[in-house]
Amino acid sequence: MKVAFTSSTGEMIDEHFGMAKNFHIWEIGSDASSFVETITIGQQGDDEEDRIAARAAALKDCAIVYTMAIGGPAAAKLVALRIHPMKTNSPVSLPETVGRLQEVLQGTPPPWLRKAMNKGKEVSFEED
């Protein structure tokens, strides 16, 4: 699954979602993880709603966004796009966060994470 991180350097999750210029995108699975790309968001409109919409649209393929802080309207916009926002509340190591997420994926992930892992996949409840 694709996971985005708000980071000024690619080493720490250290930015507020609404002010972040760079989103570092990783592909993370239970057995492997790899850096995919950095998405840079330029000036998108004059108000907060435009900035939130531009960031959410750029991250539409991601299942989770890790950020140091995020406001209610931005979190709601992400949830509406089936992107799970995760707040760290303080700067934390991006590589360590990737490692911890992989550990959780190797076990029995909580329901919200299983749902995030299936983003974009059609789930069938029919038996064969």
CATH class of the region 2-117: alpha beta
Q: What is the mean pLDDT of residues 14-41?
A: 93
Measured CA to CA, the distance from residue 98 to residue 105 in angstroms comes to: 11
Say what angle helices 72-80 and 48-58 make with each other, to 10 degrees. Answer: 40
Domain residue ranges of the chain, discontinuous segments joined by +: 2-117
**Does residue 112 surpass a pLDDT of 90?**
no
pLDDT given for residue 127 in this prediction:
43
Averaged over 7-27, what is the pLDDT?
94
pLDDT at 11: 95
Query: Per-residue pLDDT tens for 57-86?
Result: 899 999 999 999 999 999 999 999 999 999
Q: Does residue 50 carry a pLDDT above 90?
A: no
The backbone torsions φ and ψ at residue 120, rounded to the nearest 5 degrees and listed phi first, read 85, -5
pTM: 0.86
- Is pLDDT larger for residue 31 or for residue 65? 65
